[in-house]
Each structure stands twice: as structure tokens, then as C-alpha cells.
Amino acid sequence: MVLALIRHGQTDWNLAARMQGRTDIPLNDTGRAQARAAASAFAAEPWHAVVSSPLGRARETAAILADHLDLPLGAAYDELVEQEFGEAEGTLVADLDTRWPHRDFAGKEPDHQVGERGLRGLERVARDHDGTRVLVVAHGTLIRYTLAAITGHDARDYPRLDNLSSSHVRSNRSVASTDGASRPSTDAAWQVLTVAGVPFVDVLGDLERAGELQPAS
């Protein structure tokens, strides 16, 4: 099973470089155009459904992709919602280090919970779509932490993900069903294939070098 983890299209807060988090900011016209353009690229491969986070910017991106690719629009999964940034939401990214040098925003979802939650979302999608190829529209931070949870690297060392960038992951395990066919297991391990369109093997070196530079705890 292959899932494409796609960051939603642009919003006005993305354009202004504001922290967005769970604040439900809609797509702007550029974001809608990005989704339409991305559909052409996704059409080069077979896909079977589109699912998303429940936030409006992800849901609308998913709906545009589904419409242009003539695919069913599947469920919205709460596990795929963006990280909660608490009182930092709406703040200019450029002001974060001055106001919160340790990124300890009041009301912030703990970083270590984000990737775990993302993996639970992947497992739910895998159960619901049983071995097919699915486009999964979510959020930049959620996707980076989910990829990091799979590979064991620090999410902060993953590259920034642009709007409509796509990172592919694959389920590594399968189980035999009663009809003899192979089915993905519900506790499937995952493998990162690409990060924002770049083969993971080409990203791995940068992740490992960044990890070596991290101070010992």
C-alpha cells in the first residue's frame, strides 16, 4: 500500500508567514490553483481515493484533487489535523524566536505526540482502504513529524514542505486473507519512499549529518 502525504494549498496566513496550527484558515485563490495544477502531476500514477485532515484548507484541497482526478473523496481523519500551537497561532514566524525562544507556546500540543498521532492516522487509512493507493491531504508539521516517527530522525531536521508537496510512504507488511489474497496488516510498519518528491535515500544523508550535530542531552 502506498500513501502520498500531501501538504494542503496556500492560505493567506501561509502567504503572510503566520503560524497556523489548528486555526481553520481557508485556501486562497493561489492555493486552489496549486491544487488544480498538482492534480495533473498526480494523474501520471494510479490512485484510488483522496482523504484528508478535517481542517477546511486540507479538506478543500482534497476535494479539488478528487474532482480533477475523478476519484472518490473519502473520510476526514482527526488524527491528521495539524499540531496545536496554542497562543502562537496567528503570530508571524519571524517573531517567534523573540517571543518564545524555546518554542514553549502555552497550549501547544507536545511535539512527541504529533508523529504518534500521525501514525495512528496512517493506520486508520490503511484499514479503511485495504491495499490501495491513496492521496492523503494534511499539514506540513504533521507530515514532517509523521515521517520522522517512521524513520527515527528528528522532525526538525526534515526539510520544510511546500504547499502541495507530496511525500510517499509504503506499508511494509501484508497478511493473507481468507480468499488467499495479500492484505496489509493493521499494525503495518511504514517505509518512507520520498520526501517532497525527493527519493528518501537522497534525503537520508542530510538527516544523519544533522543528527550528528545535535548536542548531547
3-state secondary structure 94-135: HHHHHHCCCCCCCCECCHHHHHHHHHHHHHHHHHHHCCCEEE
Residue whose cell numbers read 485563490: 29
The torsion defined by the Cα of 176, 178, 179 and 184, in degrees rounded to 10, comes to: -30
pLDDT of residue 216: 53
pLDDT of residue 213: 75
Which residue did the predictor score with more confidence, 186 or 113? 113
Q: How many helices (H) and strands (E) does the chain have?
A: 7, 10
| Catalytic residue check, 112 | no
Residue-wise pLDDT tens digits, 57-75: 999 999 999 999 999 999 9
Choose the catalytic residue: 60, 79, 82, 89. 82
Please name every residue paired with 199 in a beta bridge, in sequence order, or none if there are none.
194
pLDDT of residue 212: 82
Q: pLDDT-derived band of residue 215, with 50, 70 and 90 as boundaries?
A: low
Choose the catalytic residue: 8, 129, 139, 168. 8
Q: Which of 75, 40, 47 is nearest to 133 (CA)?
A: 47
- Separation of alpha carbons 161 and 140, rounded Å: 6
Q: Per-residue pLDDT for 177 more than 70? A: no
Q: What is the mean pLDDT of residues 156-174?
A: 92
Residue-wise pLDDT tens digits, 74-114: 999 999 999 999 999 999 999 999 999 999 999 999 999 99
pLDDT of residue 189: 87
Is 0.75 topped by the overall pTM? yes
pLDDT of residue 70: 98
| Catalytic residue check, 48 | no
- Separation of alpha carbons 190 and 163, rounded Å: 23
pLDDT of residue 3: 98
Q: Per-residue pLDDT for 178 more than 70? A: no
Q: What is the mean pLDDT of residues 188-196?
A: 91
- Separation of alpha carbons 129 and 132, rounded Å: 6
Evaluate whether 136 touches 3 at the Cβ level (below 8 Å): yes
Beta-strand relationship, 182-184 and 174-176: antiparallel
pLDDT of residue 87: 97
pLDDT of residue 176: 39
Domain 2-213 in CATH: superfamily?
Phosphoglycerate mutase-like (3.40.50.1240)
Evaluate whether 132 touches 159 at the Cβ level (below 8 Å): no
pLDDT of residue 173: 63
- Write the CA distances from 5 to 53, 106, 135, 147, 196, integer angstroms: 11, 28, 7, 9, 9
- Averaged pLDDT of the chain: 92
What's the chain's length in residues? 217
Q: Per-residue pLDDT for 46 more than 80? A: yes
